[in-house]
Amino acid sequence: MRSRRVGGLLAVTTSVALVAGACGGSGGEPAGGGGGSGEPTDATISIYNTYPENPLVPGNTTEVGGGRVIDAMFTGLVEYDPRTAEPYNAVAESIETTDSRVYTITLNDGWTFHDGTPVTAQSFADAWNYTAYSPNGQQNASFFAQIQGYADVHTEDPDGADGPQEAPQPTAQEMSGLRVVDDLTLEVTLAEPFSVFPTQLGYSAFAPLPEIFFTDQGAYEAKPIGNGPFAFVSAQPGVNIMLERYEEFAGENQPTIGGIEWRVYETAEAAYADIVANNLDFLPIIPSSAIAGNLFQTDLPDRHVSQPYLGIQTVTFPVYDPRFQDPQLRQAISMAVDRNAVNEQIFGGLKPPADGYVAPNVPGRTENQCGDLCTYQPERAKQMFDATGFEGPIELTSNADAGNAEWMQAACVTISNALGRECNFVPVPTFGEFRTAINAQEMSRIYRSGWVADYPSIENFLNPIYRTGGSSNDGGYSNPEVDAMLARADAAPSEEEGHALYQEAERMIIQDMPAIPLYFQSVQAGWSERLDTVTVTPFRALDLFSVTVSE
């Protein structure tokens, strides 16, 4: 096995195309993120967001609303280029390995948390151990499954959260694979080789935590403390979260904006009206009503963008519900969706139909994994559906405050036409209510889901979502043969060799169809006349380093 040194720029090849804004200008410098142009200002910008479902703890944040705030407040060992998604070292000075199993991570000196305390190797080790320790109930725990000793700190509930049995008490509180050598050196030993590990380290689950989190968690949750470019100021649940620029931020690039208001709206349409009126500065998701007929291009001349990003839209079956446990039923409903018709009618052709679970431009992806199961075949779909004996109407659901009603209703029409069975869209008022039901495994309908890459790898589109116990395996899907194939892929001696195994796992998952791939995501975003130098990243986020404000 060849030696690999992962230095200032991680030795990971990505195929992500350069992301160019439709207008507005440059992003960051390659392999280092975007640097703000001009002098720092006190100007605060407002960005549409959904209110986070949990306190702002990186290890317990898996949804986009909380993730956006976490990403602004924390900087990890690795970050991703805002135009190419290529990983580069941030808090890490170097990441070295000779076997893809033992990694020596050296930190840059001088990084501090927002309370002034230093960021050390212990800050990372403590945060990772806390997240992995199953009694702490952190949603991102499974991201640490590759680290040696994870099985000693994390046990699974044998009959699920609602069953009478309890998970066995872990035999340890710290993973044996984490060794703090000194303040700036962390040695990580994995249970098996995992070549994706350096790329993975840019995901927020691997962020450090300050000492106060462990000594007074209540105080931390009341005023979260990160080490990133923006520090927490205040929060009004369901209204907004306020951040301000952290003047002691140790990153090579510095933002020029003075702060961010993450603003919550009841509907995406209300947020869109404020973008048009220049009462909101950035809207990362233009609602379907404004995409139809390309209305947003007329409403927002010279201040909009339409571009692909590393994401996929799906709908997921709650397979813990006996009604949805037949794979043939799930396949039939997939073939009953006329993806092309929905794309043209609702999205003006801007969102191409999905042919698998992995988004384009993601390293390791291969085309047409889904084959006939993701094409509109109404006669075959009806024959398979009728054979399952499914009773009652088909129901799709989503939160009503994020602009998904139009496309889900359109999908229902095509399902009804193909299957001769009533299909209804049943909205849930808020994202918080929607996620609460999903997390509690109380869904009784096929529900909106999707994935935006945490890091650029095929592995990220499979393990968290479809592996048994994965951090975002919300539908309860489990297949031991898939788990075994994913484990083989994880342990491949190189990323290239792992890709073929991940692709085989993807084909196996598609045959089970626990979620229906619908379309690959493209972002339609808009901004106010105040903003200049707007770059939208491959992760569908505004680059907070390069954006500037003209008053």
Does residue 33 register a pLDDT over 50?
no
Name the DSSP class of 31. T
Write the DSSP string, 72-137.
Answer: HH---SEEE-TTT--EEESSEEEEEESSSSEEEEEEPTT-B-TTSPBP-HHHHHHHHHHHH-GGG-
Alpha-carbon distance of 103 to 83, in angstroms, equals 27
Tokens 């340890």 — which residue?
172
Query: Model confidence over 330-370: pLDDT tens digits?
Result: 999 999 999 999 999 988 888 899 999 999 989 899 999 99
Residue 187's H or E segment, with its range, is: strand 185-189
Check residue 35 and give its pLDDT. 52
Domain boundaries along the sequence of the chain = 39-261+532-549, 309-522
Asked whether residue 312 carries a pLDDT value surpassing 90, the answer given is: yes
Assess contact for 154 and 132: CB atoms under 8 A. Answer: yes
Q: Do 526 and 275 form a contact (C-beta atoms < 8 A)?
A: yes
Q: Among 175-184, 373-382, 465-474, name the one with the lowest average pLDDT.
A: 465-474
The closest alpha carbon to 401, from 424, 425, 428, belongs to: 428
From 12-26, 379-393, 396-410, the region with the lowest mean pLDDT: 12-26
- Tokens representing 337 are 């969706």
Which CATH number describes the domain made up of 39-261+532-549? 3.40.190.10
The dihedral built from the CA positions of residue 533, 239, 404 and 323, taken in this order, carries a sign that is: positive
Residue range 249-262: average pLDDT? Answer: 96
Mean pLDDT of 181-205: 95
Look at residue 32 in the predicted model and tell me its pLDDT. Answer: 40
| Model confidence band, residue 20 (pLDDT cutoffs 50, 70, 90) | very low
In the chain, % of residues over pLDDT 90: 77
Tokens of 142: 């499974």
In this predicted structure, what is the pLDDT of residue 452? 86
How far is 279 from 50, CA to CA, in rounded Å? 17
Residue in the structure block whose two tokens are 């703000």: 36
Q: What is the mean pLDDT of the chain?
A: 90
For range 78-89, the mean pLDDT: 93
The CATH label, of 3.40.50.2300, 3.40.50.10490, 3.10.450.50, 3.10.105.10, for the domain at 309-522 is 3.10.105.10
Residue 8 or residue 145, greater confidence? 145
- Inter-CA distances, 264 with 51, 132, 217, 538, Å: 6, 31, 25, 23
* pLDDT tens per residue, range 130-158: 999 999 999 999 999 999 999 999 998 77
**The tokens of 216 are what?**
């007074």
**Do residues 451 and 356 touch, judged by C-beta distance below 8 A?**
no
Average pLDDT over residues 261-265: 97
Query: Taking residues 55-77, what's their average pLDDT?
Result: 95
| pLDDT tens track for 400-444 | 877 788 899 999 999 999 999 999 999 999 888 999 999 999 999
pLDDT tens for residues 201-223? 999 999 999 999 999 999 999 99
Per-residue pLDDT for 159 more than 90?
no
pLDDT score at 37 = 53
Measured CA to CA, the distance from residue 289 to residue 269 in angstroms comes to 8
Of 367, 261, 307, 368, nearest to 45 by C-alpha is: 261
